[in-house]
Structure 1
């Protein structure tokens, strides 16, 4: 089995490598190729990756290359974890929207649109080159914004599934509170990527008793603190929103906060510098503790589980993924990409049935899906008018004056990435 990781020079990668090493019986990789145009980073990350495999006794071969075609050649699966423009572009995504009083964030709002527009054309080019090498290869997308990128891949006919670590993070937290193994916890996870709610927490599978009311009663304060939302919000909803919902439920408060502290991009850039220095230490043969602060917790477990199910019989039969709606949420088109529990096997991902949603959730899902339709159109075809319409449709923008100003700022800050600008 050969896997390729595009964006293999990311400081995330040792987290992924650690999971591959620990879970080698679930996903028996024989060859792993790390692909990245940044040769200096790739050398550091690749060296640590080999040492992690060696320490844990993994027999697989790890190679590195900046040649995309060579790296993905004959791969059974390709994981995408790239960031077009690097942390410098992220810094811009998180700052210029604030000038208009809108949330600055790299996966949603105006910053998320900028990231989607930079990313989609690059990802589609990579996917086409993968298809030329091996049309049967699966593409697992961890590149944000996952929902829009996955939809672009699926609409272009690629064998693709989107992956996010939000659900597995909740699963691990609930398992700890319930003092059970994570595999016993089933989530009623519904929504879009970075716009999802946990409607239920069940033991043993989809038919188990919903323990979420009990968890909220006993641990609601801690959950609310973790999400930076008032406890009353969780009590009134009776569900647990993903932390990205804070951008919608407390928009103005978040904007005020973001204007008074360093951006997350600046924090991550400093952290990456420190991590890369660590990775260069030939004595280091495990992922450093600092990596946990970088983000992407449990990404490796989710990636292994998904790849194992798509390529064989080793993964969990039910996982939270991003895939076509296909009637699951009746108020969305079949080709909308949703993030829900799905049955995953060699044929792909098939969403499980979802009960009728409260309009409180269905309305926001429909609104953001409409934005994603327009965002993908802007990413594929370009043009100022398409950018403007996508921004006007987004509930975190939604005003003509803001959309006009943000359109100009988005194009100005990303001109080098847009062939049409």
Structure 2
């Protein structure tokens, strides 16, 4: 319910160089239960508004010093008094002067000689209008704040849905890939040891034949020369060793996939952060390698000993993936630009540093690159949903927004970004143990 402004203690500033006018107006104002403030010139009126904060100003046009028009201009130029209603009092009947006053910012005119009843009626009207205007502005601000919060809540809900769907889809995909990889890898790995044993037995047998039969049949000599037995004997163990390395690589990739996309949506578990970072780097290894257009991206790991922390591993790994993949994207974009300009590139490096603050019971993960960096306008918006600087089809603008939500909302942590054009970018993640 809106309170009646006419029953509230109002302060009316009367500005007039005529003492009789001041006295009459002050008595009328006091008779309405309001408080009267008085000034005899424009300068003192402006000074008085700085500390008295009147609710309405009755302002004479013709005064010594600065006139009412100039006084009104200065009042309207001041943020503290620009919304205070000003009513001019004048003996001038020229319509041009009235229009001038209204254009400056006055809300009404009272013509001298005035009647007290008319003055009070106009004061009541404009005090009520002013009060209603302020009330409406306040309600608009409240409504705007509510709508802004609703939009933010909607964006957060959308991000949660996108994140949950991505993690669910990723978990199913990884489970299927892991299953498909593990079966043939297990089969090959199990048989490699037997193949190696059989190979060694056959080579021993050939050596024994060569010792016992130093003068073989000419056909055998021809076959030995055709297949280059000495080279075959030397190279075959190397081939098996290379196959074993490939099998171990597949095992590591399968393990990295399972580590990266943990199905841990329902509850937190104790987890070693380094495992998540390593699995992410393993999955991005193909993008870190060099090619014909650029050299390899060097990864420097500066790990300190960390305790396991209670977290959602799959979601944290998604954060690491988003940040490191963005760094690689920035390097690639920079390489494209420099290749077009035929300029040399500096060694590209991503440095991952971890540390623990035992007193604060937090761990810190810093992911830093020496890429092109970001201008302040972009840096200020990187965590906004749907904001991206990438071309259409290469980015959705959700990766860092989801990362921010995972760190802040899901883990009660902090994520900050520092970046300067030409000097690279650093993401600092702080998580409670």
Q: TM-score, normalised by structure 2?
A: 0.24
| Higher gyration radius (CA) | 2
The higher-RCO structure (CA 8 Å, 6+ apart) is 1
Q: TM-score, normalised by structure 1?
A: 0.25
